[in-house]
């Protein structure tokens, strides 16, 4: 009898543990691959390889756009500069952004963030003659 109770107890615990760990609902969260488009925010390597003037421009312009996205309102220039030191921190910010951008209601705000990235790359790119565009 005691073996049956122990077995029943263990079976109930196992069921509880697995049912709490199982995803809830029929619509599991989509997997986000930061290496695939759309690229709303530069990757760690892309940002790291920007020239100082490009980084300054990007940080100045992206902060107002990030303020419009729930969960990223408190991102500051300091926090982005600190995140740019270690790829996992930078990717953490990107993941928050990409997760928020899955919502159709944030499409305009996410496009603003992406536009800042594109303008940063375009406006300060090196021309064939060696000069840069301001």
Walk along the chain (134 residues) and give the pLDDT tens digit of each residue: 677 655 555 555 545 444 444 444 444 556 877 777 788 899 999 999 999 999 999 999 999 999 999 999 999 999 999 999 999 999 999 999 999 999 999 999 999 999 999 999 998 666 655 555 55
Direct distance between the N- and C-terminal alpha carbons of the chain, in angstroms, rounded to an integer: 82
pLDDT at 23: 43
Query: What is d(CA 107, CA 95) in angstroms, rounded to the nearest whole number?
Result: 16
Phi, psi at 126, each rounded to 5°: -85, 125
What is the torsion angle, in degrees rounded to the nearest 10, for the CA atoms of residue 45, residue 90, residue 112 and residue 69? 170
How many CB atoms are closer than 10 A to CB 24?
Answer: 8
For residue 110, tell me if it sits in a domain.
Answer: yes
For residue 2, tell me if it sits in a domain.
Answer: no
pLDDT at 18: 43
pLDDT at 32: 79
For residue 52, tell me if it sits in a domain.
Answer: yes
CA–CA–CA angle 78, 83, 88 (5° rounding)? 165
For residue 99, tell me if it sits in a domain.
Answer: yes
For residue 94, tell me if it sits in a domain.
Answer: yes
Helix (H, G, I), strand (E, B) or coil at 126: strand
Phi, psi at 104, each rounded to 5°: -60, -30
Domain that holds residue 89: 44-123
pTM passes above 0.85: no
For residue 77, tell me if it sits in a domain.
Answer: yes
**Total count of domains within the chain:** 1
Length of the chain: 134
pLDDT at 38: 82
């Amino acid at each position: 009898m005691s073996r049956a109770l122990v077995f029943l107890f263990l079976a109930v615990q196992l069921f509880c543990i697995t049912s709490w760990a199982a995803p809830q609902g029929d619509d599991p969260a989509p997997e986000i691959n930061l290496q695939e488009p759309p690229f709303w925010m530069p990757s760690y390597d892309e940002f790291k390889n920007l020239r100082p003037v490009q980084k300054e421009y990007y940080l100045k312009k992206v902060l107002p756009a990030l303020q419009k996205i729930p969960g990223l309102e408190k991102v500051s220039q300091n926090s982005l500069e600190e995140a740019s030191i270690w790829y996992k921190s930078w990717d953490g910010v990107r993941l928050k952004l990409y997760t928020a951008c899955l919502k159709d209601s944030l499409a305009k705000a996410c496009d603003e963030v992406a536009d800042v990235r594109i303008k940063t790359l375009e406006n300060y790119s090196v021309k064939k003659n060696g000069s840069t565009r301001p």
